[in-house]
């Protein structure tokens, strides 16, 4: 079973899963099952915020992918509901989409505390589980339009210093989730899942130069300087603060993780940051 199957990660996971197992073995879960029409798999209604219906939705699940919800105040109630329902329904194994180094002591990000708390709840639930700790998606760059800004101006402003990030694409993440669902194993493991290398923002600027044929340099700026640059570009305050905070998180080394999990679990090489931008030229246009 794949929860959140109508979302971006859920849909991609289904696509990869159907390359590994017969469609008759797959159930797609969503708050809006009608959005899943045409996928060729069974669908069920499942809303993590509606606990009464979850045990029936999970009934018969050999393996369940629980795609995480966002929260700044610990584990969302929806995570608690899903874990309790999975235990009640006798789910064979729960696969949870977590975040890199979620359980490390001193974890400073409130958003990541959500994952730390959820991993703790899973460990205490009695369920057999696997946590997939995905590193940062390069799609996050597109959310704030920073690549397009860099290509347009020739400058990539960064407050990340020499901080490195093991960027993994959403599609590679989905391929890993599908492989773990299809093949089983990895019980009780907290798997760090990354791209092929941990890169600095200077490396990102070089990748953009390589892809576009233009000279793009990384310009170190202060936290306040980056916030001001993004504000001038017209970004909403939420995005300005979020991206600036992400830079401080990079600078402190929290994303500096590299593993071979993608190739080991899927048999394919993970996508580099340069290959990602080359495959998505629309992200480089304002």
Q: Confirm whether 175 is domain-assigned.
A: yes
Residues 72 and 61 in one domain: yes
Residues 79 and 142 in one domain: no
Q: Confirm whether 1 is domain-assigned.
A: no
For position 144, what pLDDT does the model report? 81
Count of residues making up the chain: 286
Q: Confirm whether 46 is domain-assigned.
A: yes
Q: Confirm whether 246 is domain-assigned.
A: yes
Of 67, 8, 16, 39, nearest to 182 (Cα)?
16
Residues 205 and 224 in one domain: yes
Q: Confirm whether 104 is domain-assigned.
A: yes
pLDDT, one tens digit for every residue, the chain (286 residues):
999 999 999 999 999 999 999 999 999 999 998 999 888 999 999 999 999 999 999 999 999 999 998 755 667 899 999 999 999 999 999 999 999 999 898 877 777 888 999 999 999 999 999 999 999 999 988 878 899 999 999 999 999 999 999 999 999 999 999 999 999 899 999 999 999 999 999 999 999 999 999 999 999 999 999 999 999 988 889 889 989 999 999 999 999 999 999 999 999 999 999 999 999 999 998 7
For position 19, what pLDDT does the model report? 96
Hey, what's the torsion of the CAs at 230, 235, 236, 237, to 10 degrees? 0
Residues 54 and 189 in one domain: yes
Residues 98 and 108 in one domain: yes
Q: Which residues contact 189 (CB under 8 A, 6 or more apart)?
A: 130, 131
Please count the structural domains in the chain: 2
Q: Residue 146 is part of which domain span?
A: 135-168+194-256+269-286
CATH number at residue 164: 3.90.25.10
104 C-beta neighbours (distance < 10 Å), count = 11
Q: What is the pTM of this model?
A: 0.95
């Amino acid at each position: 079973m794949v929860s959140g199957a109508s979302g971006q990660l859920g849909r991609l996971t289904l696509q990869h899963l159907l390359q590994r197992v017969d469609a008759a073995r797959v159930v797609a879960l969503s708050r809006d099952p009608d959005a899943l029409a045409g996928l060729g798999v069974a669908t069920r209604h499942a809303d993590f915020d509606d606990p009464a219906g979850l045990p029936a939705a999970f009934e018969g699940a050999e393996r369940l992918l629980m795609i995480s919800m966002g929260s700044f105040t610990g584990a969302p109630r929806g995570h608690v509901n899903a874990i309790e329902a999975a235990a009640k329904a006798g789910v064979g194994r729960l696969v949870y989409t977590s975040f890199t180094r979620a359980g490390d002591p001193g974890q400073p990000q409130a958003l990541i505390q959500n994952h730390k708390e959820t991993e703790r709840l899973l460990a205490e639930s009695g369920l057999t589980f696997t946590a997939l700790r995905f590193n940062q998606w390069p799609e996050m760059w597109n959310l704030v339009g920073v690549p397009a800004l860099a290509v347009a101006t020739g400058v990539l402003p960064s407050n990340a210093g020499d901080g490195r990030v093991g960027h993994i694409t959403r599609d590679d993440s989905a391929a890993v989730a599908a492989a773990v669902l299809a093949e089983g194993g990895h019980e009780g493991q907290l798997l760090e899942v990354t791209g092929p290398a941990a890169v600095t923002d200077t490396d990102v600027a070089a990748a953009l130069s390589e892809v576009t044929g233009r000279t793009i340099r990384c310009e170190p700026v202060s936290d306040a300087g980056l916030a001001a640059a993004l504000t001038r570009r017209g970004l909403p305050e939420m995005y300005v603060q979020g991206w600036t905070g992400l830079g401080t998180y990079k600078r402190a080394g929290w994303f500096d993780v590299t593993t071979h999990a993608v190739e080991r679990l899927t048999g394919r090489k993970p996508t580099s940051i340069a290959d990602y931008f080359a495959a998505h030229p629309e992200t480089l246009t304002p």
